[in-house]
Amino acid sequence: MTDGSLVNEVNGSMSEGYVEQSNEFNYKPVPPMAPVSLVLGLLSSIALLSYIGIAIGVFGIVLSAVCWTRIRNSQGELGGKILPAIGLILSVLFVTGGLSLHSYAYATEVPVGFTRINFYHDISKKGFVVEDGKQDFDPGVKELEDKKIFIKGFMYPTRDTEDLNSFLLVKDSDECCFGGEPDLSDMILVEMKEGMTVDFHDGMVAISGIFKLKNIHSGGELKPVYQINGEFFSHSRTLF
């Protein structure tokens, strides 16, 4: 081996050693929240289908912003800034898209000619009044009689689950799914129009039809005193 070759080999070895030391010296730890931010950004895509995804996306926005700021302010001691940046972008996009889709669904779910009614606030919460010693309907509920309304609730389960031309609509899932006995003000008898049947659905449903009041005095029997002559039935597109 010549002197020149020996010098080149030594220089090469020193150069490789320097590269290894340099790479080791340039390693920057990545905060654990950086990959978590990215995962949350991906999971926030659920916002396009469910409100849970919106909550995930909002959390992802906060976590990604905090993580990105922490890495930026570390003066080069921390790496992986690209991960929370991507997570932040994804979370913002999916939350924005999800809110837009749900808002559009809410704005367009009521059939033309029908008025949106809230089961709890407009019917159940008002309950009944007593006049001249007799129980009567609340004046606000009386105003709904013969009106074309759009309302949401839950189907009270029975043995029959298919081809139902009538069913009991209750205000919340506790009363329909956990054996609860609904109060008079918490249930509405739905009679679908002639020739129209529906199948049982364990989630929230939407009914459009003409609201009717029945005899409130039924000899002590617990019978529905509210009725809807249903014209449209669908699974609820929103939760409110």
Which CATH number goes with the domain that contains 152? 2.40.50.870
The predicted structure's pLDDT at residue 20? 45
Average pLDDT by consecutive 10-residue portion of the chain (240 residues)? 49 48 65 95 94 95 96 91 96 97 94 96 92 88 96 93 94 67 90 95 96 76 87 92
Q: Which domain does 199 fall in, by range?
A: 115-235
Nearest to 191 by CA among 218, 175, 169: 169
Q: Is residue 8 part of a domain?
A: no
Longest dimension (CA), the chain: 121
146 and 224 co-located in one domain:
yes
Q: Which of 107, 139, 159 is the last residue of a domain?
A: 107
Nearest to 155 by CA among 168, 172, 174: 168
Total domains in the chain come to: 2
Nearest to 228 by CA among 195, 203, 196, 191: 191
Q: Is residue 142 part of a domain?
A: yes
135 and 199 co-located in one domain:
yes
The predicted structure's pLDDT at residue 76? 86
Overall pTM surpassing 0.85 (yes/no)? no
The predicted structure's pLDDT at residue 149? 98
Q: Which of 55, 81, 107 is the last residue of a domain?
A: 107
The predicted structure's pLDDT at residue 186? 93
The predicted structure's pLDDT at residue 232? 97
